[in-house]
């Protein structure tokens, strides 16, 4: 990259704005990556001012450039014997703190820009866990919805036939994300094992409990986000018990956010999918939701049909119209925009915490900041998933199996630590209560120090 910051106003004088302009120029057609990078860069000037050695070493210019980007063809046969062709991705963004770590997303919207935004976020998220994992992300524009198990298996086998050469427990360790759950991880692990002839359990996380998976991994992202929310509320002298909560999405993150919020006494009123949302005045019936989503792989419109009078399905509208105290966006990127944020604020929302990656648009974050709403950015609030993946890697390396209680206890400690680190860092740099600045600066400092110590690579 040719950003000569000293040409402008001293070694770090050109700052984040010039770097972002250069990033947009060099990475055309990747709006989500631009957005994720800007959200981080615009909070880092205080730390660059305080530590000129980081600017001298061009840490930021190196950080926004992935260490390696892999794109590949994924041919497979559908059930009618026709050839299908998808595109596979793995962006190995940064390994200063450990092997590349991050999920795989299978969804029709996946492209290089999406994978880069997710991989970039993952660097800071993984640093915040305090564990030794670098940042990476991958996936494909393959959509498992409506595909048979046999089709999903053939796709996963073809995907892994190429990807395996880039993976390893000390190199790159994928997991799940949207469209990749226990079924897909199983097929991917089987193919990796077959090709390499190695029982290398630490090469993937989110595995089945009988073959190297960790207890509490399935629950970890949702549970962790609720625990982070509890910490934010506690800072303000409030408690989740008795509050009204809106959750968006109905996948793994949403389901286990609902479970933990209910266990802590909250009333969770909503869930959603791409067709609309459900509002249930009696609170979401989790057993019914799990049956429809996890067992039948159905749509949430069926939830309202089977639940009875308390539930209504609202097609095509925003779940954020429902008046609540706490909002947990847990579906996908940019699902909560400025208008939705204004509605939530006018309904008196106290806390918003991101279970999904970048679900809140920059305009919406500004609305929450202005209104003094506690806002937990995904790279801090949803880090419990990848944090528990790192615990799975630890169990695999030691050939151990921990109890649910032990694993959940470690997850709770990780989430408390992330909260406190973000809170204290924000205060130290003059942005009290700003978890966005706190998360970005704390994650950045940990990666930057490791990069500095390891020389120009």
Residues 6+ apart with CB under 8 A from 457: none
270 or 389: CB nearest ligand GLU: 389
Binding-site ranges for ligand GLU (CB under 6 A): 101-103, 125, 175, 177, 205, 357, 385-386, 389
Closest approach, Cβ 133 to ligand GLU, in A, equals: 8
Q: Report how far residue 192's alpha carbon sits from residue 173's, in angstroms, rounded to the nearest whole number.
A: 12
Closest approach, Cβ 47 to ligand GLU, in A, equals: 23
180 or 319: CB nearest ligand GLU: 180
47 or 422: CB nearest ligand GLU: 422
> How many C-alpha atoms does 183 have within 13 Å on its Cβ side?
19
Q: Decide: 122 and 95 in contact? Cβ < 8 Å.
A: no
Residues in the chain: 457
Q: Report how far residue 202's alpha carbon sits from residue 174's, in angstroms, rounded to the nearest whole number.
A: 10
Burial class (CB in 10 A: 0-12, 13-18, 19+), 173: buried
Q: Report how far residue 322's alpha carbon sits from residue 333's, in angstroms, rounded to the nearest whole number.
A: 20
**And the tokens for 61?**
């210019």
117 or 429: CB nearest ligand GLU: 117
Nearest of 98, 195, 178 to residue 447 by alpha carbon = 98
Residue with the closest Cβ to ligand GLU? 103
Q: Decide: 447 and 127 in contact? Cβ < 8 Å.
A: yes
Closest approach, Cβ 121 to ligand GLU, in A, equals: 8
Torsion angle of C-alpha atoms 67, 73, 77, 81, degrees rounded to 10 = 170
Give the Å distances, CA to CA, from 136 to 19, 117, 118: 22, 10, 8
Could you give phi then psi for residue 105, rounded to 5 degrees? Answer: -115, 125
Closest approach, Cβ 346 to ligand GLU, in A, equals: 31
Closest approach, Cβ 280 to ligand GLU, in A, equals: 27
Closest approach, Cβ 377 to ligand GLU, in A, equals: 13
Q: Report how far residue 439's alpha carbon sits from residue 415's, in angstroms, rounded to the nearest whole number.
A: 12
Residues 6+ apart with CB under 8 A from 308: none
Q: Look up tokens 């996380």; give the residue.
A: 205
Closest approach, Cβ 302 to ligand GLU, in A, equals: 26
Closest approach, Cβ 252 to ligand GLU, in A, equals: 10
125 or 154: CB nearest ligand GLU: 125
15 or 176: CB nearest ligand GLU: 176
Q: Would you name the residues annotated as active-site residues? A: 137
Q: Decide: 79 and 150 in contact? Cβ < 8 Å.
A: yes
């Amino acid at each position: 990259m040719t950003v000569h910051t000293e040409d402008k106003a001293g070694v770090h004088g050109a700052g984040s704005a010039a770097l972002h302009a250069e990033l947009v120029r060099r990475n055309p057609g990747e709006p989500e990556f631009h957005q994720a990078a800007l959200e981080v860069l615009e909070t880092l000037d205080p730390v660059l001012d305080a530590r000129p050695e980081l600017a001298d070493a061009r840490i930021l210019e190196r950080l926004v450039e992935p260490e390696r980007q892999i794109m590949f063809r994924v041919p497979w046969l559908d059930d009618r014997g026709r050839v299908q062709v998808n595109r596979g991705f793995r962006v190995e963004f940064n390994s200063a703190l450990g092997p590349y770590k991050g999920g795989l997303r299978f969804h029709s919207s996946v492209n290089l820009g999406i994978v880069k935004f997710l991989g970039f976020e993952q660097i800071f998220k993984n640093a915040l866990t305090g564990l030794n994992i670098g940042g990476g992300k991958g996936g494909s524009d393959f959509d498992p919805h409506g595909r048979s198990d046999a089709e999903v298996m053939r796709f996963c086998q073809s995907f892994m036939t190429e990807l395996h050469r880039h993976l390893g427990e000390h190199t790159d360790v994928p997991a799940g994300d949207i469209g990749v759950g226990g079924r897909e991880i199983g097929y991917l692990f089987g193919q990796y094992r077959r090709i390499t002839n190695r029982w290398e359990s630490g090469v993937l996380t989110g595995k089945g409990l009988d073959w190297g998976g960790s207890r509490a991994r399935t629950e970890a992202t949702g549970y962790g986000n609720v625990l982070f929310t509890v910490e934010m509320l506690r800072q303000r002298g409030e408690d989740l018990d008795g509050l009204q909560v809106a959750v968006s999405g109905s996948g793994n993150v949403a389901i286990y956010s609902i479970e933990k919020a209910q266990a802590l006494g909250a009333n969770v009123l909503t869930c959603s999918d791409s067709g609309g949302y459900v509002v249930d005045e009696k609170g979401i019936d989790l057993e019914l939701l799990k049956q429809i989503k996890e067992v039948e792989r159905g749509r949430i419109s069926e939830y309202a049909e089977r639940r009875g009078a308390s539930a209504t399905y609202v097609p095509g509208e925003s779940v954020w119209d429902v008046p609540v105290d706490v909002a947990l966006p847990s579906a996908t990127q940019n699902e909560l925009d400025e208008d939705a944020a204004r509605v939530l604020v006018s309904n008196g929302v106290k806390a918003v915490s991101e279970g999904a990656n970048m679900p809140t648009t920059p305009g919406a974050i500004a609305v929450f900041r202005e209104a003094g709403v506690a806002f937990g950015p995904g790279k801090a609030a949803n880090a419990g998933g990848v944090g528990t993946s790192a615990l799975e890697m630890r169990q695999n390396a030691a050939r151990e199996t921990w109890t649910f209680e032990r694993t959940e206890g470690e997850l709770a400690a990780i989430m408390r630590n992330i909260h406190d680190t973000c809170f204290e860092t924000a205060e130290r740099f003059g942005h009290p209560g700003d978890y966005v600045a706190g998360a970005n600066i704390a994650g950045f400092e940990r990666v930057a120090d490791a990069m500095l110590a390891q020389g120009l690579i």
